[in-house]
Amino acid sequence: MIYLPFLNYLYRNFTHIALRPTTTQMVAAIMKHCYKRNLAVVPQGGNTGLVGGGTPVFDEIVLSTSLMDDIINFDPQSGILICQAGCILKNLQDYVGNYGFTMPIDLGARGSCQIGGNLSTNAGGIHFVRYGPLRRYVTGVEVVVLSNGVVLDMITPQPMQDSDFKQLFIGAEGTLAILTKVAIKCVETAKCYSAIMLGCKTHHQVTSVLMDARNVLGHTVSAIEVMDSAAVSVVDSKLGLKCPLSPHPFYALIETFSNDEDQNIDKLSHILSLLENKFGSMESAVSLNQTQLSQLWSVREHITEALKRDGHVYKFDISVPIAKYFDLVDVMRHEIGSYSSTICGFGHLADGNLHLNITSKQYDKLLLNRIETILCDWLVQNGGSISAEHGIGFHKAHLMHGSKSSNSLAMMRSIKAHFDPKNILNPYKVVQV
Ligand code: FAD
Ligand code: MLT
Ligand code: ZN
């Protein structure tokens, strides 16, 4: 049985067979066999996905890349890393860090998620505001195409950004092919990172933080994260981790980087003084060293884990207009507050990416239906989208029509049919065929 470390029983399914190949050739042989015998396969990386994309729905075979974890080459001149798809993100971060480089992605699941899973979900993460989408840094992929198990190698020694269709496989959530190797351009590491946490009283203060942080930091911004008091309280009550600030309705965390710590701190203090000129005194905490930086991040990075201990979690990762960032959280509290335990909002403010999380003592299908109806209506009325960075997976496949036109969906189905005519590669996920 495959257990999901991060999710709840909704996605905890059975498989009779879990395969862990070590080479591309083994993956190709497996796919040839499965194609011939009409056997459905679910590609699985670190299994940290939050939309049920990497687990079987019925009895599909799990093809795990966890033993495909070789680093093949790193070129310190170009910054290009070539590795197998099963390498754990944190291991890659540490490896290229030794050469003064950094991976153009970071996220809380870094210690378990794999680079193949990151590419397959086109994951966002806390540094999206700095680097933009991961797909921008992918200079090549090697995939096993399902239809005949053919290996399609699109990794070239001299990467040519737009000369092939590798981008099609990035963000495809394992529905078109299995990624076996990747080539990624890493970025040079800055020497110092510093952060400020600010206590905010209103939505308006939160959006002002974003504007001032952007204006002062420009391209030296590396994260602009927010969380509300319910998210902070659950981390305290379930994990005993205290927020460094006294209770506030909202908290913002701004991180900057440069080669000079004093410069970072000057900039962060300048943001604070701009805000205090507008709103009067604000409570804040600035990191003066690496330990304090980790402390400031700690509450934010433990929200997911704390919520899991609060009952069944209904997770929604959505795109919303920044001006209305927390509005939907208030709507949910008003509509379903009495049927749930915790309703909280947190996420990547600069990207308009809200994580709306609701918990109840146990899974309640009626409550889920109610939440989805309120959510979809709100998104249509306010111009948002059902998905932001986690993907569609199984969880959101039935909600796709709310955010995509029927023409787009038809095109996605025809691409799927082209690569996977028997619909045996991660069926029931993303597009309903
Ligand atoms: P899995 O969960 O194993 O799979 C995810 C999807 O990719 C599935 O559809 C699977 O079939 C497919 N897949 C995996 N490997 C391959 C492959 N080699 N070839 C083809 N398809 C494949 N996500 C974000 O975007 N931003 C965040 O900030 C973020 N933070 C997180 C924090 C925590 C604490 C947790 C638990 C999760 C977080 N996530 C975040 C979600 C998750 O970590 C990402 O989606 C991650 O990219 C998934 O990687 P994985 O290796 O675990 O993939
Ligand atoms: C995060 O930003 O912490 C993640 O996307 C995880 C989550 O949404 O739970
Ligand atoms: Zn996130």
Per-residue pLDDT of the chain (433 residues; tens, 9 = 90+): 333 344 434 555 678 899 999 999 999 999 999 999 999 999 999 999 999 999 999 989 999 999 999 999 999 999 999 999 999 999 999 999 999 999 999 999 999 999 999 999 999 999 999 999 999 999 888 888 776 788 998 887 666 655 678 899 999 999 999 999 999 999 999 889 999 999 999 999 999 999 999 999 999 999 999 999 999 999 999 999 999 999 999 999 999 999 999 999 999 999 999 999 999 999 999 999 999 999 999 999 999 999 999 999 999 999 999 999 999 999 999 999 999 999 999 999 999 999 999 999 999 999 999 999 999 999 999 999 999 999 999 999 999 888 889 999 999 999 999 999 999 999 999 987 7
ipTM: 0.99
**Domains, the chain:** 1-189+403-433 (3.30.465.10), 192-303 (3.30.70.2190), 310-402 (3.30.70.2740)
CA of 104 from ligand 3 middle (Å) equals 15
**Which pLDDT belongs to residue 162?**
59
**Residue 143 exposed, middle or buried by CB count within 10 Å (0-12, 13-18, 19+):** buried
**Which pLDDT belongs to residue 11?**
57
Q: Which of 389, 386, 426, 390 is nearest to 404 (CA)?
A: 386
Is residue 315 within 8 Å of residue 355, measured between CB atoms?
yes
CA of 269 from ligand 2 middle (Å) equals 28
β-pairing verdict for 151-153 and 342-348 = unpaired
- Within 10 angstroms of residue 220's Cβ, the number of other Cβ atoms is 15
β-pairing verdict for 312-319 and 353-360 = antiparallel
In sequence order, what are the beta bridge partners of 317? Answer: 355
Chain-centre distance of CA 185, in angstroms?
A: 19
CA of 296 from ligand 1 middle (Å) equals 25
Q: Is the CB of 387 under 6 A from ligand 2?
A: no
pTM here is: 0.94
**Which pLDDT belongs to residue 353?**
97
- Within 10 angstroms of residue 359's Cβ, the number of other Cβ atoms is 22
Helix (H) or strand (E) holding 183: strand 177-185
Q: Is the CB of 116 under 6 A from ligand 1?
A: yes
- Within 10 angstroms of residue 73's Cβ, the number of other Cβ atoms is 11
Is residue 349 within 8 Å of residue 224, measured between CB atoms?
yes
**Which pLDDT belongs to residue 7?**
42
**DSSP state at residue 201:** S
Q: Which of 51, 60, 38, 42 is nearest to 8 (CA)?
A: 51
The tokens for 314 are 């209904």
Torsion of CA 207, 210, 216, 219, to 10 degrees: -150
**Which pLDDT belongs to residue 409?**
94
**Which pLDDT belongs to residue 12?**
59
Q: Which of 286, 301, 324 is nearest to 232 (CA)?
A: 301
Q: Is the CB of 352 under 6 A from ligand 1?
A: no
CA distance linking residue 255 with residue 62, whole number of Å:
39
